[in-house]
Amino acid sequence: MFHPIQRFQEKRPEIREKSRRGAGHVIFSRGLLVALLLAVQVLLLVGLFTRWQFAAFAYGGTYALSIFMAFYLINRPMNPTTRQTWLILVLLAPVLGSLLYVFVETDIGHRLVRRRLADIARSTRDSLPRPDDVMARLRTEDPSLHSLAVYTDSHGGFPIYNNTTVRYFPEGADMYASLLEELEKAEDFIFMEFFIINEGEVWDSVLDVLRRKAKQGVDVRLLYDGTCAIFRLPYHYPQKLEEMGIACKMFSPIRPLVSTYYNNRDHRKIVVVDGRTAFTGGVNLADEYVNRIERFGHWKDTGVMLRGDAVRSFTLMFLQMWQVTEPALEFRRYLEAPMERQPDAKGYVLPYGDSPFDNERVGESVYLDIINRASRYVYIMTPYLIIDGEMTTALTFAAKRGVDVRIILPHIPDKKVAFALAYTHYRELIRAGVSIYEYTPGFVHAKVFLSDDSKAVVGSINLDYRSLYLHFECAAYLKDVPAIDDILRDMLDTLAQSQQVTEESLARVPWTRKALGFLLKLFAPLM
C-alpha cells in the first residue's frame, strides 16, 4: 500500500487544503455552457408550439440564421473536419450552434493573451543563436531534415542543434529519479512548467528540493495549468509557494463561463536546470505517472533528458510563457551562457513548441512529416486516437505503400469517451493495413513517434484534437541520435506486452461503446 512520505506532510500542513471538486467540475466544464445553450434552443422550440402567431417569424429567422452560418463557415479558413462539425451543429440547432460558435471564436478573455504572446514571440525571435554551420551541412547531407528545420524555425522560432546528448526514459519512474538528481545540482536557476501537479510522494519530494534550492539563492520558478486549481491544488497555492521563496504562476485560471480559457490549456512538460539540462515528455508531477499509485493498471509513460545547445529552446519556451504576465523580462542572461562541448553528442535535436494562437499546427505538421517520409516503418505510442481526415489519410497511405505502421494505445483507458472515439477510427485504419495494439498491462500515456531507426519525437503532443489544435504543447525531434536505439527497444518491448486489435476482435466490442463513439464522433473536434 502506498503512503505519502510523512515528513513532508509534517513540514507543510498549511498547504494540505482540499481542492474544489464535485459541483466545481460541473460549473467549470464546457458541458454546462452547452447545456445552457441547448436550453435556449429548447425554449425557442417550445415557444413555436405555444405561440403559433410567432411561429412563422421564428421559423424564418432560424432558417435564415442556419443558411447564413453555413455560407459563413464554408468560406472560413479552418480544418475540414472541424468545419463539418460546425456545419452540422448550426444546421441541426441554429441558435445553439451559432451562439456556441460565436462564443468560441470571439475568444473572450484570450485576446490580450494572444496579442501578448505574439509580441513576446516577435521580440524574442532572435534570442536563440542559430548554428549556421548545422543548416549549411544539412542542406547537402539531409535535405528533408533541412526543410523541416526551415519550417520549425520560420514558423515557430526553433532552430536545430547538434551539440546535444539525449537520454531516453522508458518509464516515468526512471525520469523522476534523474529529475531529482539534476534538481539537486542546480546552482543558478530552475524552470518548471507542467500541466498537472498533484500532492503526493512525487510532488512532495520535488518541492522539498525546490524549497531548499530557493533558500540557497537559486532562481526557482514554477508554472502550472489552471485546471489544477479545480481538481488538484488549492486556488491560492501559488501564494503558498511564494512564501517558500518559489516564484509560482497558474496559466489561465479557469472562471465559470466568462472566457474560453478552458479550450486552450498549457499541456507542456518542461524542466530546465541552469540552462544546461532539460526534460520533456509525457510525465506530470503526480504519483500515478511513476506508478507510486495505481489508477488504470500500469501507467506507461516516457520522457527525455537533453544536455547541450538544444536546452536553450526549452529555456526560451518557458520564459515566453512566463513573461505573459510580466511587464519586462531579461532573456539574454538565461540564453547566452556558454554551453559545454558534448563529446558524446551525435545526430541532431530539434526542440519545438506549438501554440493554438498562431494558426500554425506545428505539432501535427511534424508528425505528418515523419509519416509521409517513412520508408520502412512508423511506430507510435499515444494515449488517444481522435484524428482528422488529414492524419487518417497520411496513416492509411503510408500503410498502403508498404510502410509498417503500428499504433500502441491503452487497454485500460482513463477516459471512456476518448476510448470510444478511438474505436471509431480502428476499422478504417486496420483495413488499410495499419496495425493497432492495446497495451495489456494498463494505460499508455506516452507520446512517441519512431521511424526507420533514424528519427523520433518525444514530447507532450497526443494524437487528438485538443493537443493538435487547442493546447500549448512541446516536443523534441531527434535524428540519428544514439537514444533512438533505446526508443526502438522500448517500442518492441511495449509491443510484446500488447494485444493486436483485429476486425474479429472489433466485432466483440460492446455495442454501448460503439454507440457512444458513433454519437460523439461528429462533435469530437469540439470536445
Positive or negative CA dihedral for 65, 71, 72, 77?
Answer: positive
What band does 427 get if pLDDT is binned at 50, 70 and 90? very high
What band does 109 get if pLDDT is binned at 50, 70 and 90? low
Residue 71 makes CB contacts below 8 A (sequence gap 6+) with none
Identity of the amino acid at 174: D
Task: Tell me the backbone φ, ψ of residue 402, rounded to 5 degrees.
Answer: 100, 5
The position carrying cell 559545454 is 340
pLDDT in tens, 35-85: 555 565 565 555 555 555 555 555 566 667 777 877 777 777 777 777 777
Rg over CA atoms, the chain = 24
Q: What is the pLDDT of residue 256?
A: 53
Q: What is the DSSP string of 383-415?
A: S-B---HHHHHHHHHHHHTT-EEEEEEESS-S-
Position 17 pLDDT exceeds 70: no
Residue 51 makes CB contacts below 8 A (sequence gap 6+) with none
3-state secondary structure of 176: helix
Position 235 pLDDT exceeds 60: yes
Q: What is the pLDDT of residue 327?
A: 77
362-526 matches 111-348 in CATH topology: yes
Identity of the amino acid at 36: L
Grid cell in block for residue 527: 470536445
Q: What is the pLDDT of residue 326?
A: 81
Helix axes 311-322 and 111-123, enclosed angle (nearest 10):
140
Cα distance from N-terminal residue to C-terminal residue, the chain: 36
**What are the sequence ranges of the domains in the chain?**
24-105, 111-348, 362-526
Position 13 pLDDT exceeds 60: no
Q: What is the DSSP string of 38-87?
A: HHHHHHHHHHHHH-GGGHHHHHHHHHHHHHHHHHHHHTS---HHHHHHHH
Average pLDDT of the residues in 421-434: 93
Q: What is the pLDDT of residue 75?
A: 78
Helical segments of 93-131, H only: 94-105, 111-123
Task: Report the phi/psi class of residue 157: left, alpha or beta, with left for phi > 0 and alpha for psi in -120 to 50.
Answer: left
Average pLDDT of the residues in 208-217: 97
pLDDT in tens, 338-385: 788 888 899 999 999 999 888 889 999 999 999 999 999 999 999 999
Better-scored residue on pLDDT, 151 or 327:
151
Q: What is the pLDDT of residue 107?
A: 61
Q: CA–CA separation, 130 vs 463, rounded Å?
A: 30
Mean pLDDT, the chain, rounded, equals 84
pLDDT in tens, 445-502: 999 999 999 999 999 999 998 899 889 999 999 999 999 999 999 999 999 999 999 9
Q: What is the pLDDT of residue 284?
A: 97
Average pLDDT of the residues in 112-118: 78
Query: Looking at domain 111-348, which CATH architecture does it have?
Result: 2-Layer Sandwich (3.30)
CATH code for the part of the protein at 362-526? 3.30.870.10
Task: Report the phi/psi class of residue 431: left, alpha or beta, with left for phi > 0 and alpha for psi in -120 to 50.
Answer: alpha
Positive or negative CA dihedral for 457, 459, 464, 470?
Answer: negative
